[in-house]
Structure 1
């Protein structure tokens, strides 16, 4: 029987990224974290995930370095879950995913929008190349193998 290849063992950064955030429950937990939730009971009430499943997801996020588990109360001992720097770096991904979905909805159908907190105006985020200011969504920008690529990745992008 062939050994199962874990996503984090693959060379592709998309596969590795999905190993951190690929389950939709994980995305909802992260969304709650960015909205300021830190405690188990807050996640449980807001998401509606069973306590055993939530425990498992939080444990995975802590083990992967996305969240840090901290004691906030000694008696009884209680923990909170706080985003690490690595976890906070996922915010643009969540913002982009929400924007992608909202772009397919009429403005009156959008249940959640991103706004500029200073102006109150809705914003539509784009991923841009900082050197050119151009959106990377167009055909000008393509993937190719990087300096750390192995034989398989180099073969994929050889042409």
Structure 2
């Protein structure tokens, strides 16, 4: 059965999932953003089958999240370095860490996001793009953007009406 594509969607969540919605992809990006760059390092860290790792690395390169660079000519070997787009995924991974710690860790937290200087734990937040003010989650909402289709406008309005 052919997998459905989300690439024609206008929804930013669907478009993002089209690129990284498979769990190996996020784990590969997690490792790449922590400095893992070579095939054998990913393989050892993730304990992933070589054919699956090859497919996911190729897909992440094609999506522009990783750049493939040769580091050895004979035999030809590549390393995989996060691009700007790939580095921007860090905020999503940090949010997943915080969410996972809050809802799924049953004992002591094993990994947390901390301030590099103070060592204090951090949590995800939204910031007003204009004035830099932190906006609490319960004051955030979704709104149609400039490229919204009529379907998106109607869906967002439907959801807003359903919550009344």
Coarse TM-score class (shorter-chain normalised): 0.7 to 0.9
Q: Does the CA-based 8 Å contact 2:69-2:80 persist in structure 1?
A: yes
Unaligned runs of 5+ in 1: none
CA RMSD of aligned residues (A): 2.1
Q: Give the superposition deviation at 1:151.
A: 2.2
Q: Give the superposition deviation at 1:154.
A: 2.0
- Counterparts of 2:9 and 2:124, CA distance in 1: 29
Equivalence for 1:133? 134
- Counterparts of 1:9 and 1:124, CA distance in 2: 33
Q: Give every structure 1 segment of 4 or more consecutive aligned residues whose post-TM-superposition deviation is greater than 3 Å.
A: 105-108
Equivalence for 2:162? none
- For residues 27-69 of structure 1, the C-alpha deviation after alignment (integer angstroms, 9 at most, x for no partner) is 1101101110000000000001100000000000001101010
1:1-159 equivalences in 2 (<5 Å): 6-104=5-103, 109-130=108-129, 131=131, 132-135=133-136, 137-138=137-138, 140-158=139-157
SS class of match (1:143): coil
Cα distance change of structure 1 residues 125 and 157 upon mapping to structure 2, 3 Å threshold: closer
TM-score normalised to structure 1 length: 0.88
Unaligned runs of 5+ in 2: 159-164
- Counterparts of 1:32 and 1:91, CA distance in 2: 11
TM-score normalised to structure 2 length: 0.85
Q: Give the superposition deviation at 1:129.
A: 2.8
